[in-house]
């Protein structure tokens, strides 16, 4: 799906994603001291806004201007005066002017070659000691879970992501966590109620050395 298609999707509804941060982003990063952060493929910026609310100076990067504009309005409405910069760019190639303390990549579902470029680009913008966090729809979600993309070419495992980095010698990282994680979702049960189902994500957290 290209930028124009995503612009149309974001324009068609109030919010495509929730106002709250991704649950794994919030759980993994709540205890990190604030610094400089980049949210790649940020969409409407829910994770960047959450980071900024906790004192981070955040940059939200996405190729959909419609999504970025919606995120900027949400941030502007927050009375806390959030420090978020909104940048329309390719998440697989954009680089900040200076190294940052944290890069978040949440649900950037692209083919393996694009994912590899995005992951290496993300880790490459970290300072020594900086944190990389990726959350994505896991490959096993297609058969074992619910929702998410149905194209196996854009799904991944934690081991795929770790392999994106260990195959190159110029990016030295310490892997803190690389595993499949369960995310509970609700869906209509056909009788006017809801049922809980499990979606499977992959989660990778690393520190650049």
Question: Residue 124 has what pLDDT?
Answer: 96
Question: Residue 204 has what pLDDT?
Answer: 98
Question: Residue 9 has what pLDDT?
Answer: 64
Question: Residue 15 has what pLDDT?
Answer: 62
Question: Residue 8 has what pLDDT?
Answer: 62
Question: Residue 166 has what pLDDT?
Answer: 79
Q: Going by C-beta distance under 8 Å and a sequence separation of 6 or more, which residues neighbour residue 192?
A: none
How far apart are the C-alpha atoms of 50 and 93, rounded to whole Å? 24
Segments of the chain with pLDDT less than 50 = none
Burial track 15-43 (b if 16+ CB lie within 10 A, e otherwise): ebbeeebbebbeebbeeeeebbbbbbbbb
Q: 87 has which bridge partners?
A: 61
Count of alpha carbons within 13 angstroms of residue 10, beta-carbon side: 22
pTM, 2 dp: 0.90
Question: Residue 77 has what pLDDT?
Answer: 85
* Encoded tokens for 50: 């959450």
Which domains are assigned to the chain? 3-208 (3.40.50.150)
């Amino acid at each position: 799906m290209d930028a124009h298609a995503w612009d149309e999707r974001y324009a068609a509804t109030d919010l495509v994603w929730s106002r709250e941060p991704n649950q794994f982003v919030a759980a993994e990063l709540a205890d990190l001291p604030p610094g400089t952060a980049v949210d790649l493929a940020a969409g409407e910026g829910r994770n960047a806004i959450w980071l900024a609310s906790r004192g981070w100076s955040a940059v939200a990067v996405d190729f959909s201007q419609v999504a970025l504009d919606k995120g900027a309005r949400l941030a502007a409405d927050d009375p806390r005066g959030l420090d978020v910069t909104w940048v329309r760019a390719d998440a697989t190639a954009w680089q900040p002017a200076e190294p940052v303390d944290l890069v978040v990549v949440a649900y950037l579902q692209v083919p393996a070659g694009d994912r590899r470029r995005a992951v290496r680009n993300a880790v490459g913008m970290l300072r020594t000691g900086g944190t990389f966090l990726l959350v994505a729809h896991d490959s096993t979600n297609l058969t074992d879970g619910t929702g998410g993309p149905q194209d196996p070419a854009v799904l991944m495992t934690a081991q795929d992501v770790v392999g994106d980095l260990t195959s190159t010698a110029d990016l030295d990282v310490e892997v803190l966590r690389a595993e499949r994680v369960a995310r509970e979702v609700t869906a209509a049960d056909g009788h006017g109620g809801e049922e809980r189902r499990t979606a499977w994500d992959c989660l990778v957290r690393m520190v650049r050395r």
